[in-house]
Amino acid sequence: MGGGQQFNNVAGRYHVRMADNPDDLLGYADIVTLTEQRGTPIKRNSLRALRATHRMPEPDDLTFPDRPRWRRATITTWLDNRPGKGTRTDLRPKSADSGVTDA
């Protein structure tokens, strides 16, 4: 297949995709494939959990509420800015007005 097309098997369905376009709309299965290609795999259930806990961008398309979709550019930006594996995101520096002093 020429012209920048790829033949992919996503969720058991075969389809032809054009070369990556930042405006492509991606569902969970497409995001799983994208993260695997980037070497940082995220499972579908993990993506759902990230969305439920608001640690993932809001979907760009909710035409079908049970099938959210994001623009490729939204997901790649989010992936590029996620903290690395094992990063402690729950730690916060003590503020100056917290009343805690160094002894």
User: Domain locations in the chain?
Assistant: 24-81
Please give the structure tokens belonging to residue 28: 């969970």
Signed CA dihedral, 39, 68, 47, 75: sign only: positive
User: Is 38:77 a contact under the CB 8 Å cutoff?
Assistant: no
* pTM for the full predicted model: 0.67
Q: Give pLDDT < 50 ranges for the chain.
A: 1-7, 14-16, 18
Q: pLDDT tens digit string along 70-83?
A: 999 999 999 999 87
In the chain, what is the straight-line distance between the N-terminal and C-terminal CA atoms, in Å?
70
The mean pLDDT of the chain is 80
